Structure 1
Amino acid sequence: MYSLNDQAPDDRGQVGIGTLIVFIAMVLVAAIAAGVLINTAGFLQSGAEATGQGASDATSNRIQVVSTTGTDLDNSTVGVVSLVVKAGPGASNIDLETTTVQWVGPNGSFYQLAENSTGGNPDGYFAVATVQDSDGSSPVLNDQEDRLKIQLELGEGDNETLIDGAEPFGSEIGEGESATIRITTASGSQTTEEILVPETISGTTAVRL
């Protein structure tokens, strides 16, 4: 027969093994939890960086309008609207072929894509001409000195196209009438230009809008 003193060492050994098993289990659970937290933190960080970059692009990759001109002045109306544009300060490369233009005028709202764009179902196409482009990057604005011209031809149903590459849409805009032009880049930044036709344009070949 064993005495109480003979059983004590075995009892202490069993308690020690149980404690060790519980300790190892806790360590494993903590390690797994830490791994999950690290992965989640990494995912959230990546998502935040992507969101921040998208917001930064939408803010910085803006187009600035240098000037707006109306030509094809026939019957006291403007048939062609041309906008000379440049990249805004701090903007990266801006491709006009992936840019959309919305025209909101007296006769409705119309969307246009660049002449070489593919896909979509626009109301017309705008043409891009080079004003100043030292490295031949047109239709991409990749330098603060670049100046490109967006040309919109108004008057759907006209017998001839005045601007090579453009497709007419809507109606010509008359004396004293106004319109809004909204340019949206691929990054989502928008530039809005309000134009107003002078009260009298007869006898001129071009007007500043």
Structure 2
Amino acid sequence: MFEFITDEEERGQVGIGTLIVFIAMVLVAAIAAGVLINTAGFLQSKSQETGQQSSKQVSNRLQEVATVGNVTGNQVDIVNVTVTQAPGAGEIDIHNATVTWIGPDGTMQLVSTTSNYSTATLSSGEYSYESVKNAAGSENVLDDADDRLNLVFDTAQINGALNEGSEVTIKINTMSGATTSIRFTVPESLGQKEAVEL
């Protein structure tokens, strides 16, 4: 009528229960480790990508070499900005850059034409560029530290000719997100001059 459980049987049941709990803990730990490893790999790749993009935003900038204005009467009608790569910059395609002109008569987003200024007819809101020096022969890409590119702004197609004392800021944002600001002020006296350094 009565069944007696011996000490050996009790120990066997406890041992099997302990083994099941141990296996469950190992499985949970393995799954958690897998999730952590995958998450760490994802975060590492994202951080590398973010670091590269941040580096490009800092380094892929333009550097101003010279800014010269063409004088007609007592106004500057053409602005020539010669640019090169900033130290440590990679390839910069000026044709795909975003250019903003901030002048005394307002702000305007400018788009580039595909022709050199000498042969181009600019429309409102356009600027042109021409290669001054390019080892690879590319008209619109600065890919070497010695390359020089001339950006040409016809003020008549932007906000009108610049008078004496006018202040202008040109912001050039490259495809990588790096921004270069070029500021200049027209001299207070333009009389008897054909060109001025800005």
TM-score (norm 2): 0.89
Residue 79 (structure 1) aligned with residue 77 (structure 2) = yes
For the residue of structure 1 that corresponds to 2:6, the secondary structure is helix
For the residue of structure 1 that corresponds to 2:69, the secondary structure is strand
Specify the alignment match of 1:58 in structure 2.
57
Q: 1:103 aligns with which of 93, 96, 101?
A: 101
Residue 47 (structure 1) aligned with residue 46 (structure 2) = yes
Specify the alignment match of 1:176 in structure 2.
165
Q: CA RMSD in A?
A: 1.7
Specify the alignment match of 1:125 in structure 2.
126
AA of the residue aligned to 2:177: G
Moved more, 142-151 or 11-20: 11-20
* Number of aligned residue pairs: 189
What's the offset of the Cα at 1:3?
8.1
1:72-120 per-residue CA deviation (whole Å, 9 max, x = no partner) reads x23311111110000011111111012111111110011112224xxxx
| CA–CA separation in structure 1 for the residues paired with 2:54 and 2:135 | 30
AA of the residue aligned to 2:96: T
AA of the residue aligned to 2:73: N
Unaligned runs of 5+ in 2: 115-123
Q: 1:196 aligns with which of 181, 185, 188?
A: 185
Specify the alignment match of 2:147 in structure 1.
146
| CA–CA separation in structure 2 for the residues paired with 1:3 and 1:206 | 115
Unaligned runs of 5+ in 1: 117-122, 156-167
1:135-184 per-residue CA deviation (whole Å, 9 max, x = no partner) reads 202211000000001111112xxxxxxxxxxxx22111111211111111
What's the offset of the Cα at 1:38?
0.9
| CA–CA separation in structure 2 for the residues paired with 1:108 and 1:3 | 100
Q: % of aligned pairs identical?
A: 46
Q: 1:186 aligns with which of 143, 164, 175?
A: 175
